[in-house]
Amino acid sequence: MHSSVVHGLSESQVTPEDWFDRRRRHMLALAAGLSLGWADRLAFAAPLPDAALKAGGEKLTGLGDITSYNNYYEFSTDKKAVKILAQELTLKPWTLTVDGEVEKPYTIDADELTKLFGSEERIYRLRCVEGWAMVVPWSGFALSKLIERARPTSRAKFVAFESLKRSSEMIGQRNSNLPWPYREALRIDEAMHPLAFAVTGLYGQPLPKQNGAPLRLALPWKYGFKSAKAIVHIQLTSTQPVTSWNQASPSEYGFYGNVNPEVAHPRWSQSRENRIGELQKRPTLPYNGYAEWVAELYRGLDPKQSF
Ligand SMILES: Nc1nc2c(c(=O)[nH]1)N[C@H]1C(S)=C(S)[C@@H](COP(=O)(O)O)O[C@H]1N2
Ligand SMILES: [Mo]
C-alpha cells in the first residue's frame, strides 16, 4: 500500500513541508496558465502523508457501530432501521456513467472499479452535520482517478454526483423528505484534491449496502451529507449543480458543507461533537482536522456566506 515512491521518498516519509512544496509548485504552474493536461496536473500533486491519510492513529469506530447507525434517507430517516431495509437493494448489475464536460465519457460496471483504479485503505474521520462523528477505515481509490479517465475539458468547473433512484427497492424514496435522486456536487478542484476518496470497501471487506455500496464518496473535511452513497452518475459541468439538501433547506445546508465549529447550523451549535462510543464531547475542528491540507482551497471565501 505504501510502496509508491515519489522523489525517492516513500509515502509514509512525506512530511507536510514536502507536500506543501509540491502543492505550491502545482498551484504556481496552474496560475501561470500553463495548459497542462489532466495527467500532468496530477503528476504535480504528491500523495499526502500518513498523518492525513490515517487519521493520525486515532482509535477506529467499531464495525458494528459503523454498519448499524446510518444516514441513508432512500431507506429511512431512522438511523437504526437502515441496516435492515438496505438489504433489499440489488447491487448487480450496477453501472456508473461519467460524462458531461469531458472528452471521453464512459460507462463501466461497478465490478470493474477495483480492477481499473486499484484499492488502498484510508482511515478518515466522518463528521455528520447532526453532531456525531466516527473514525472509519474505508477502502477505495482517489476520486481524481475516476474523473481523470474521462478527460475533463477546460469548461469543467464542477462535478455532480447522482445516487440511484429505485423506489421499488428504496422504500424511503416513497416519501418526499428529499428531492430524489439524491444529488451532491463539488467544485472540480475539491473533487481532484488527493483527500477526496471514492469508497468501495469498509474494514477490508466489500462496502455494506447500508454504507453506500457499491460506490460512495468520503470527503473527510466536509459534513457527511456531501459524501453521496450508491452513485450511478458523475457529471462534469460548467455551472454549479443543484444539490438535494441545499434544495430541501438552503438556509441549513450550503453548497460547501465544510466542517466549521464557528458556523452554527440554524438549529444547533457546531462547536462540539459526539464521537460514537465516547461519553464526553470533543471540540469540533476546522475542516474536521484537515485544515492544513484543504484550507487553501477556500482562500478568500467567507465561511458565513459560503457554508
Ligand atoms: N445517497 C445518500 N447518500 C448519503 C446520505 C443519504 O441519505 N443518501 N446521507 C449522508 C449523510 S447525512 C451522512 S452523515 C453519511 C452517513 O454515512 P454512513 O451511514 O456510512 O455513516 O452518508 C451521506 N450520504
Ligand atoms: Mo449527515
- What is the residue with the minimal CA distance to atom 6 of ligand 1? 72
Write the CA distances from 207 to 10, 63, 99, integer angstroms.
28, 11, 25
Binned at pLDDT 50, 70 and 90, residue 162 comes out as very high
**For residue 47, what pLDDT is reported?**
77
**For residue 159, what pLDDT is reported?**
98
- pLDDT digit string, tens, across residues 94-135: 999 999 999 999 999 999 999 999 999 999 999 999 999 999
Specify the 3-state DSSP secondary structure of 261: coil
Higher per-residue pLDDT: 251 or 36:
251
Residue 70 Cα to ligand 1 midpoint, Å, equals 7
Residues with CB under 6 A from ligand 1: 70-74, 126, 128, 163, 182, 211-212, 224-225, 227-230
Specify the 3-state DSSP secondary structure of 244: helix
Q: Which atom of ligand 1 is nearest to the CA of 72?
A: 7
49 in Cβ contact with 16 (< 8 Å): yes
Distance (Å, whole) CA 161 – CA 241? 9
Name the residue among 249, 203, 251, 253 with its Cα closest to residue 223.
253
- pLDDT digit string, tens, across residues 10-59: 444 555 566 566 666 666 665 555 445 544 454 456 678 999 999 999 99
**For residue 31, what pLDDT is reported?**
56
- pLDDT digit string, tens, across residues 266-295: 999 999 999 999 999 999 999 999 999 999
Find where cell 493520525 sits: 56
- What is the residue with the minimal CA distance to atom 10 of ligand 1? 225
**For residue 120, what pLDDT is reported?**
97
Find where cell 492544513 sits: 292
Bridge partners of 99, per DSSP, are 235
Helix (H) or strand (E) holding 29: helix 16-31
